[in-house]
């Protein structure tokens, strides 16, 4: 890629940019557009060879949106909204990757992006009021501002089974999928993991594999996606409603088109309740999870009602009741972990070529050159798919050596848990802004991305207009925000369950203890807090 300026000058002194953005995914691309509008000289450092972030790396079979396509795209560009035709209500990964490439082309973004540049370290220089950012290939770049656009689910993790390197077949992690298509036809395939990635992979691979063996440690509660194609006429109608769609996303709890029902589970008769649950189960998208009775995720009895309802659906859809029981979660209630959306996922287990292995009862003990060994059997396979997830939230930060003021590392500061001001700033790390840092609102992520990019850009604009060069979050403001983060998590049933949402990853040392790892309040509450800071003249941020 050609970038605007040479990467190093002759004296090996790194070139000074106004801003460096780490990552060319959805947030990095939009941030670059805004930085250019501010007239700032920006460089984006991207580990991959193309743009797209999540939609660049996750090209596993069946990968697609769980948010409605038209609620997911950027909202800031009316021309692009008028031009783009989403082919399905939940678009597949290749289409989203094409979409983000279209954005990169339209705004001529690639000239500011240095690809194949995995950032390994970033250090603050107080005297020079600048960050020095280094990449795996030895590149060094300097900038006044550092903006991380490194994602919340972007650091893939592998299990630590003995013998993994000895496997002679093909092995892939869903989040590091190769660009060349992988052919499953006639192959014996193993999928390890049954989160959202595993579920999407399994239902696709089952179509062509000779034999598919699924290794499930913890079943998840899945619900039907009800995807459908979008014709020209329907797309025109969607385009006409874009204002309404984005206004809706702005007011809902997690920026989805769905939001909790205003009623509690036991406010209605059993008959009304069942009718409502049936309606949600038959509806497109996340309605059953985020559009359900408002006490479903806090009231144990209410949660039992919806869990029993979905369990019965699984029993109806899976023929072998022994398999059905294995697929029904027993250690957590519906919605207390991320609900994977599925298309005939449960029916896959009725196919003669698919076997479910309970890898909690009979754990995987070893990978051999020819397959997988468990405590009671051996499975010979040609392909192993690791759908084993990510070192989520702070994981992408942990693999970069961030050094702030006085050489203090971010790891040290976050030793007892990550802290932040609205997920975007940290004390001791001046001029560093985290677009999807811990404690930002997640949900339908592009909506949060647009807000965060605009918030950071407004702060940069404010600094520019007032001749300010340094911004640092103050401890009292961080403490107040973290009190709020901890407060809103109280009483949530999800806090009683191990998952990436509670900061647990069985494959990463030191990440076994559940804690408030993310912001669980509403997106409107998050925005109100962040906007309040800006409206009070960046109260809680020392600006000089």
409 burial type by CB count under 10 A (0-12 exposed, 13-18 middle, 19+ buried): middle
Quickly tell me which residue has 């025109």 as its tokens: 236
Which of 217, 366, 462, 515 binds ligand N01 (CB under 6 A)? It is 217
Of 27 and 218, the one with the shorter C-beta distance to ligand N01 is 218
How far, in Å, CA of 175 to CA of 194, rounded? Answer: 14
Q: Which of residues 458-517 bind ligand N01 (CB under 6 A)?
A: 500, 506-507
Of 29-37, 99-107, 120-128, 381-389: span binding ligand N01 (CB under 6 A): 381-389
How far, in Å, CA of 455 to CA of 403, rounded? Answer: 24
Q: Which of residues 166-185 bind ligand N01 (CB under 6 A)?
A: 174
In this structure, which long-range contacts are made by residues 424-427, counting pairs with CB atoms below 8 Å and at least 24 apart in sequence?
424/452, 424/455, 424/456, 424/530, 425/471, 425/472, 425/473, 425/478, 425/541, 426/473, 426/478, 427/472, 427/473, 427/474, 427/475, 427/478
Of 69 and 143, the one with the shorter C-beta distance to ligand N01 is 69
What interhelical angle do 300-317 and 270-281 show, nearest 10? 60
Of 90 and 526, the one with the shorter C-beta distance to ligand N01 is 90
- Containing 473, the helix (H) or strand (E) segment is strand 471-473
Structure tokens at 163: 């013998």
Partnered with residue 170 across adjacent β-strands are: 383
Q: Is residue 193 a contact point for ligand N01 (CB under 6 A)?
A: yes
Q: What is the DSSP letter of 6?
A: -
Of 134 and 200, the one with the shorter C-beta distance to ligand N01 is 200
Q: What is the DSSP letter of 112?
A: G
Of 20-28, 187-195, 448-456, 529-537: span binding ligand N01 (CB under 6 A): 187-195
Closest residue to ligand N01, based on beta-carbon distance: 195
Of 80-88, 193-201, 238-246, 519-527: span binding ligand N01 (CB under 6 A): 193-201
Quickly tell me which residue has 């009862």 as its tokens: 361
Asked if residue 43 lies in contact with residue 14, where contact means CB atoms within 8 angstroms, the answer is: no
How many other C-beta atoms lie within 10 A of the C-beta of residue 451?
Answer: 20
Q: How far is the CB of 194 from ligand N01 (least distance, A)?
A: 4
Structure tokens at 434: 């985290």
Structure tokens at 268: 């209605």
How many other C-beta atoms lie within 10 A of the C-beta of residue 36?
Answer: 15
Q: How far is the CB of 228 from ligand N01 (least distance, A)?
A: 16
Which of 25, 52, 198, 260 binds ligand N01 (CB under 6 A)? It is 198
Of 192-200, 416-424, 432-440, 470-478: span binding ligand N01 (CB under 6 A): 192-200
Asked if residue 514 lies in contact with residue 503, where contact means CB atoms within 8 angstroms, the answer is: yes
Q: Is residue 196 a contact point for ligand N01 (CB under 6 A)?
A: yes
Asked if residue 213 lies in contact with residue 377, where contact means CB atoms within 8 angstroms, the answer is: no
Of 174 and 440, the one with the shorter C-beta distance to ligand N01 is 174
Q: Which of residues 53-92 bind ligand N01 (CB under 6 A)?
A: 64-66
- Containing 211, the helix (H) or strand (E) segment is strand 211-216
Which of 192, 209, 223, 541 binds ligand N01 (CB under 6 A)? It is 192
Q: What is the DSSP letter of 261?
A: B
Q: How far is the CB of 121 from ligand N01 (least distance, A)?
A: 26
Q: Residue 134 in 3-state DSSP? A: strand
Q: Is residue 154 a contact point for ligand N01 (CB under 6 A)?
A: no
DSSP assignment of 77-100: -HHHHHH---SBSS-BHHHHHHHH
Which of 159, 169, 461, 524 binds ligand N01 (CB under 6 A)? It is 159
Which of 197, 203, 211, 336 binds ligand N01 (CB under 6 A)? It is 197
Q: How far is the CB of 65 from ligand N01 (least distance, A)?
A: 6
Of 23-31, 347-355, 384-392, 401-409: span binding ligand N01 (CB under 6 A): 384-392
Which of 153, 202, 205, 356 binds ligand N01 (CB under 6 A)? It is 153
Of 503 and 521, the one with the shorter C-beta distance to ligand N01 is 503
Q: Is residue 388 a contact point for ligand N01 (CB under 6 A)?
A: yes
Of 116-124, 180-188, 191-199, 460-468: span binding ligand N01 (CB under 6 A): 191-199
How far, in Å, CA of 26 to CA of 446, rounded? Answer: 7
Q: Which residues contact 173 (CB under 8 A, 6 or more apart)?
A: 156, 158, 385, 386, 387, 388
Q: How far is the CB of 354 from ligand N01 (least distance, A)?
A: 17
Of 258-266, 316-324, 383-391, 517-525: span binding ligand N01 (CB under 6 A): 383-391
How far, in Å, CA of 221 to CA of 331, rounded? Answer: 11
How many other C-beta atoms lie within 10 A of the C-beta of residue 377?
Answer: 10
Of 65 and 526, the one with the shorter C-beta distance to ligand N01 is 65
Q: How far is the CB of 196 from ligand N01 (least distance, A)?
A: 4
Per-residue x/- mask for ligand N01, residues 110 to 149, rule CB under 6 A?
----------------------------------------
Q: Which of 433, 494, 501, 428 is nearest to 462 (CA)?
A: 433
Q: Is residue 396 a contact point for ligand N01 (CB under 6 A)?
A: no
Structure tokens at 109: 């973004």
Please give the size of the binding site for ligand N01, defined by CB under 6 A.
25
Which of 96, 155, 194, 303 binds ligand N01 (CB under 6 A)? It is 194
First-to-final CA distance of the chain: 36
Which of 96, 227, 343, 359 binds ligand N01 (CB under 6 A)? It is 359
Which of 384, 387, 424, 453 binds ligand N01 (CB under 6 A)? It is 387
Q: How far is the CB of 394 from ligand N01 (least distance, A)?
A: 15
Q: How far is the CB of 38 from ligand N01 (least distance, A)?
A: 31
Residues in contact with ligand N01 by the rule CB under 6 A: 64-66, 153, 159, 174, 192-198, 200, 217-218, 338, 359, 387-390, 500, 506-507
């Amino acid at each position: 890629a050609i970038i605007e300026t040479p990467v190093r000058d002759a004296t090996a002194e790194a070139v000074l940019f106004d801003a460096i953005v780490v990552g060319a995914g959805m947030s990095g691309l939009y941030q670059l557009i805004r930085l250019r509008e501010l007239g700032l000289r920006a460089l984006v450092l991207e580990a991959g060879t193309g743009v797209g972030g999540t939609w660049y790396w996750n090209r596993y079979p069946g990968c697609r949106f769980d948010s409605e396509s038209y609620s997911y795209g950027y909202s800031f560009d009316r021309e692009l909204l008028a031009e783009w035709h989403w082919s399905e209500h939940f678009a597949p990964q290749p289409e989203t990757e094409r979409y983000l490439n279209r954005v990169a082309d339209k705004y001529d973004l690639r000239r500011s992006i240095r690809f194949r540049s995995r950032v390994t370290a970033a250090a603050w220089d107080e005297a020079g009021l600048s960050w020095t950012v280094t990449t795996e290939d030895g590149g060094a770049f300097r900038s006044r501002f550092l903006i991380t656009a490194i994602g919340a689910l972007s650091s893939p993790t592998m299990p630590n089974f003995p013998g993994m390197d000895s496997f002679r077949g093909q092995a892939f992690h869903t989040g590091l999928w190769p660009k060349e298509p992988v052919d499953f036809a006639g192959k014996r395939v193993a999928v390890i993991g049954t989160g959202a990635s595993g579920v999407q992979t399994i239902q696709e691979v089952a179509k062509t594999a000779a034999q598919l063996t699924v290794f499930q440690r913890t079943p998840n509660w899945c619900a039907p996606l009800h995807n459908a194609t979008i014709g020209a006429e329907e797309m025109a109608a969607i385009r006409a409603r874009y204002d309404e769609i984005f206004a809706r996303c702005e007011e809902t709890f997690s920026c989805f088109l769905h939001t909790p029902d205003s009623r509690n589970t036991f406010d209605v008769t059993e008959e009304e309740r069942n009718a409502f649950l049936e309606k949600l189960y038959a509806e497109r998208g996340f309605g059953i999870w985020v559009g359900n009775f408002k006490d479903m995720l806090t009231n144990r009895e209410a949660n039992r009602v919806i869990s029993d309802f979905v369990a019965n659906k699984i029993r109806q859809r899976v023929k072998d009741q022994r398999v059905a029981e294995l697929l029904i979660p027993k250690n957590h209630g519906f919605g207390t972990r991320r609900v994977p959306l599925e298309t005939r996922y449960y029916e896959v287990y009725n196919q003669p070529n698919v076997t479910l292995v309970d890898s909690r009862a009979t754990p995987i003990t070893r990978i051999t050159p020819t397959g997988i060994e468990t405590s009671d059997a051996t499975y010979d396979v040609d392909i192993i798919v690791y759908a084993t997830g990510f070192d989520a939230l702070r994981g992408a930060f942990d693999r970069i050596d961030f050094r702030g003021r006085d050489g203090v590392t971010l790891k040290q500061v976050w030793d007892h848990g990550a802290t932040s001001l609205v997920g975007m700033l940290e004390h001791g790390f001046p001029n560093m802004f985290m677009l999807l840092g811990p404690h930002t609102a997640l949900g339908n992520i592009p909506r949060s991305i647009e807000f965060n990019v605009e918030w950071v850009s407004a702060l940069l604009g404010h600094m520019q207009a007032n001749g300010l060069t340094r911004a640092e979050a103050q401890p009292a403001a961080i403490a107040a925000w973290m009190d709020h983060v901890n407060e809103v998590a109280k009483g949530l049933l999800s806090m009683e369950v191990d998952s990436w949402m509670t900061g647990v990853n069985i494959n990463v040392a030191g990440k076994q203890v559940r804690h408030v790892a993310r912001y669980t309040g509403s997106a409107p509450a998050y925005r109100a807090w962040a906007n309040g800071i800006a409206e009070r003249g960046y109260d809680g941020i020392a600006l000089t």
